[in-house]
């Protein structure tokens, strides 16, 4: 992963601030919690989509957006910000959801790369 792409994916200033104020072990624990919770968030987003519930879709995207932002996943946070306000049809939501899962996996990998370099 190149540094320019990582800068767009991650909020390095936030993450470095966390490391300075909380320590690397706490940051690792925060991210481990995100990795556990994101499984639930993705399941809930998928469920809202399958139930054709706009309100639940927005709620679940909002929850995951907050979690992504809190661990410095800037690009993922931005994607979820758009998704939570979307009014597209179900086919487009399926596409967005599938892209979200891929983007989340990449964001997690980018975070682990950042940890290795830090």
| Residues 24-79: tens digit of each pLDDT | 999 999 999 999 999 999 999 999 999 989 999 999 999 999 999 999 999 999 99
Give yes or no for residue 111 having a pLDDT over 60: yes
Angle separating helix axes 90-117 and 24-50, nearest 10 degrees: 170
CA torsion sign, 94 to 95 to 99 to 100?
Answer: negative
Closest of 109, 107, 116 to residue 11, by C-alpha: 107
Mean pLDDT of 77-94: 91
List, for residues 1-17, the tens digit of each pLDDT value: 444 444 478 999 999 99
Q: What is the pLDDT of residue 7?
A: 46
Q: Give the per-residue pLDDT at 118.
A: 61
Cβ-in-10-Å burial (0-12, 13-18, 19+) of 80 comes to buried
User: What are the chain's domains?
Assistant: 3-117 (1.20.120.160)
**CA–CA separation, 97 vs 46, rounded Å?**
7
């Amino acid at each position: 992963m190149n540094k320019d792409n990582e800068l767009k994916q991650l909020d390095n200033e936030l993450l470095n601030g966390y490391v300075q104020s909380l320590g690397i072990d706490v940051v690792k624990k925060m991210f481990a919690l995100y990795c556990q919770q994101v499984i639930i968030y993705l399941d809930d987003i998928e469920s809202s989509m399958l139930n054709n519930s706009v309100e639940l879709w927005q709620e679940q995207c909002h929850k995951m957006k907050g979690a992504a932002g809190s661990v410095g996943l800037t690009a993922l946070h931005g994607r979820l910000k758009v998704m939570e306000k979307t009014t597209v049809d179900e086919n487009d939501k399926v596409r967005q959801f599938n892209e979200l899962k891929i983007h989340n996996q990449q964001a997690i990998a980018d975070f682990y790369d950042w940890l290795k370099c830090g």
